[in-house]
Structure 1
């Protein structure tokens, strides 16, 4: 509030733009990368396994397989689950495109189930309604870092013999009850894009407790090849390998992995800071009429990748676009997460129609993401609060 009072009503709260998310690298991270650059392996070396082991141990999973990015990792999960032509996969429309595109890559059909208006995550009741004889899997997304209803979705998957893939791009470090996300679903994907909880530049990983999925993931990320003696159809000698599936070159480099190992040393402090910022936002905005703050279900402890405010239209003079623009004019790098996937032109051409998930469309019409990342200083948080209060006062009816 002090920052706001120091500004005239015509000047922005901040002099420079504060992004909605940003990586935090230190000298330890830089040195870790430099050591790889000075070593023998830039790719397919020991740093990959070290990173996979570190993530697997952190989340409590038996196996982890690193990929070039989160999208490639999701593609790998769909391959491991043997999703193919004619198969349906239920997912949420409030997510990044990759959560459903990975189904299309395998020739499957995404089926969108509506969201719960309290958590903005996929609604288990809607999942049940969408199940058909062709349903093969569920891809449930931990939107903003809040875990989906893990127990309910696990039960649904088991009852219908479906594969449960948890898109946890937003939720590294989140917990559901006493379990870390990454140890519960059949397969769980984490993303390491620069705005996520840790970064490898680009990168993703699948964690699983299933050895068959683990083996298929390893094969898929490396051209569908194997050198595993137990898997070969014949053996011409120690040089011999076989391509047994149509895979891809989705291998992470040791450069990326070394950065990831170093970043994992700081994951708990990063998440603690995100939770501090989210707590301050909740305290500041919870009493503001017309603004809906994020809710959490009882068993979830979010790691707060995103903090989303909903500006309910009937309380404001001006639409969401005007409010968004006003916040940007205050040099607050707000964003919108996400446009319902099925509203994209490509999906419309596939036959998906507006109105199939009304909750998702209602959410989208009012949502604005405000900055939340561990590198933010307390003064940055003050500026975001001041800007929201300033714009709120300007537009409130």
Structure 2
């Protein structure tokens, strides 16, 4: 309104302010560059946001990068979906037992349940934190039909021993590679050993689409079925129904799910995948700096990668034993949060959650290694988006909480 501004004094009063807090360091923040932003904008302007040409390109790029044909991969909307669809496509009998690790995210076990199967837990190796092949062998029963190993934190499981067990007993292997897109065992990428490999592109993962996943299959016919299952059981996706090639009729050939990836997600993933090696190198630098600067503290640090393997460097997990560190795990988490530094817990072991205890009668002490690790673990920030100053800030905070 005209004349109102002159009715107020022009002199501004200075108000004392407290020292500004440091910005919150987000745990696992992705590194997003201009290429992703431009691709997303182009996708929005194209009018094609759902499953279409960018998903097809992302699948082709992923297949080329992993050294397989595009007919052996299928993009979906999460690694959970990838695990679920893979187990359905494997034609396992209802209620069959699937052996997996107790030190994993709940999605691993939930996918087994959603596939109509029965999870069986085998304890982890306390050194690698991966499922122990000897524990797998001990858990096999006449009802066992599959093994679901998780390549924890980016460290590949011992796939030679796991595949030997699977071949001996005629078991399907579904690899959970959510943490391990770059990982290799004896020069071979993880996800290519079993019948299926399942990958995650969640916002904290090494390749990001926001939400998203990928299935890599040994057999083309299994992936063809997984692709159909991931989109309502329809014989054609939207791109093949509504593209400029003309309308194509579809048929529903199975009772499927709504698990398809969108072009809007793939627009991010195309450029993330193009930088996968550079981002891996940056995470390795951060990892080595953590190793160097935390070595004198009474923390249990991650062991070095095993010979003839490639670690994905996804999670830098340290173990906090209160008797040695002078602070408990949860106290450490709270103190880091007060310092405005995000951390993670990977993971409270599966049998500690009430749902599984009530459904299966699981007692945590049945898997002592996973339970101890789950009660002590903290994941420190690790992301190619982290600066040297971010890293120094985390290291300084840890030293302040756990003196040498």
Q: Same fold (TM over 0.5)?
A: yes
Return the offset for 1:84: 4.2
Q: Which residue of structure 2 aligns with residue 140 of structure 1?
A: 149
Structure 2 residues not aligned, in runs of 5+: 1-18, 238-246
Partners of 1:334 and 1:264 lie apart in 2 by 25
Return the offset for 1:40: 4.8
Equivalent residues in 2 for 1:165-314, closer than 5 Å: 165-226=174-235, 240-288=249-297, 290-295=298-303, 296-314=305-323
Partners of 2:95 and 2:344 lie apart in 1 by 36
What secondary structure is seen at the aligned counterpart in 2 of 1:293?
Answer: coil
Return the offset for 1:67: 0.5
Q: Which residue of structure 1 aligns with residue 53 of structure 2?
A: 46
Partners of 1:358 and 1:158 lie apart in 2 by 28
What secondary structure is seen at the aligned counterpart in 2 of 1:169?
Answer: coil
Native 8 Å contact 2:101 2:130 kept in 1:
yes
Q: Which residue of structure 2 aligns with residue 83 of structure 1?
A: 92
Return the offset for 1:243: 2.4
Note closer, same or farther for the CA distance 1:316–1:25 as it changes in structure 2 (3 Å cut).
closer
Return the offset for 1:366: 1.3
Asked whether 1:118 is paired with 2:131, we answer: no
Native 8 Å contact 1:61 1:183 kept in 2:
no
Return the offset for 1:318: 3.5
1:173-224, Cα deviation, whole Å (9 max, x unpaired):
1121211223222211111111111211110011123112111111111112
RMSD: 2.0
Q: Which residue of structure 2 aligns with residue 15 of structure 1?
A: 22
Return the offset for 1:245: 2.0
Runs of 4+, deviation exceeding 6 Å:
none
Asked whether 1:390 is paired with 2:397, we answer: no
Q: Which residue of structure 2 aligns with residue 109 of structure 1?
A: 118
What secondary structure is seen at the aligned counterpart in 2 of 1:89?
Answer: strand
Native 8 Å contact 2:326 2:402 kept in 1:
no
Kindly name which structure, 1 or 2, has the bigger radius of gyration based on alpha carbons. Answer: 2
Return the offset for 1:240: 4.8
TM-score (norm 1): 0.90
What secondary structure is seen at the aligned counterpart in 1 of 2:317?
Answer: strand
Q: Which residue of structure 2 aligns with residue 28 of structure 1?
A: 35
Partners of 1:246 and 1:135 lie apart in 2 by 25
Asked whether 1:70 is paired with 2:101, we answer: no
Return the offset for 1:227: 5.4
Partners of 2:167 and 2:257 lie apart in 1 by 30
Native 8 Å contact 1:140 1:166 kept in 2:
yes
What secondary structure is seen at the aligned counterpart in 2 of 1:242?
Answer: coil
Note closer, same or farther for the CA distance 1:223–1:287 as it changes in structure 2 (3 Å cut).
same
Structure 1 residues not aligned, in runs of 5+: 1-11, 229-237
TM-score (norm 2): 0.88
Partners of 2:215 and 2:236 lie apart in 1 by 21
Partners of 1:179 and 1:55 lie apart in 2 by 15
Q: Which residue of structure 2 aligns with residue 157 of structure 1?
A: 166
Partners of 1:158 and 1:246 lie apart in 2 by 31
Return the offset for 1:255: 1.2
Partners of 1:82 and 1:210 lie apart in 2 by 13
